[in-house]
Chain A
């Protein structure tokens, strides 16, 4: 498809387990963003990549959250030792350039439930 693809769509994990969420951005898009959307809230910024460089990670809630984009395309958001408060929808967005001139295109998200 031509859009941003995220997998898995749903993930259930027990508290304390590690999880990995994948984002396939639109081909050729330079910028990639991760957002967290709790139930009944708007999305909140987590981190930003320009190509393979992580230029901003100010929104990551704790050091249990880690994101990477090693080849400048696919990105993975990893959460270690998951807690119940990590339950949320994790959205990935990509945009064509790195200067904010193009809109962010969102994937449909991964819904993470921590039991």
Chain B
């Protein structure tokens, strides 16, 4: 099972600031997903990255997949209180014809108004 390390574990910032969180592994990802989980809710898929060097944007969120497909980052521009939540990265591991998700421990982001 692939081990995913996320950093930082906790991040508390003021509204309007920029931030970057990271997801790393010692082995190559076939693909990587980012999720956001709000308190009392299940994780919600934000993006899937597949190709090394890939950059995807989702409004103020920018996702980057490392060239060697061993690391990924999530950058948020001008953070808002609504961005508060647990950001999880996950890799997919084959189980038969399907995939199970292996998650990192997450980065808990708090954006203060």
Given that A100-B92, A103-B45, A108-B42 are contacting pairs, would A41 and B105 also be in contact in the complex, using a CB cutoff of 8 Å?
yes
Q: On chain B, which size bracket covers the interface?
A: 20 to 34
Q: On chain A, which size bracket covers the interface?
A: 20 to 34
Interface residues of chain A, those whose CB is within 8 Å of chain B, are 4, 31, 33, 35, 40-45, 48, 50, 55-56, 58-59, 91, 93, 95, 98-100, 103-104, 106-109
Given that A42-B106, A43-B101, A43-B103 are contacting pairs, would A55 and B96 also be in contact in the complex, using a CB cutoff of 8 Å?
yes
Q: Return chain B residues, CB-CB under 8 Å to A98.
A: 97-98
Given that A48-B95, A56-B95, A108-B42 are contacting pairs, would A40 and B100 also be in contact in the complex, using a CB cutoff of 8 Å?
no
Q: Return chain A residues, CB-CB under 8 Å to B92.
A: 100
The residue that B42 contacts in the complex, of A100, A103, A109, with Cβ under 8 A, is A109
Give CA–CA (A93, B98) in the complex, Å: 13
B52 within 8 A of A: no
B80 within 8 A of A: no
Q: How far is the CB of B93 from chain A (nearest CB, A)?
A: 8
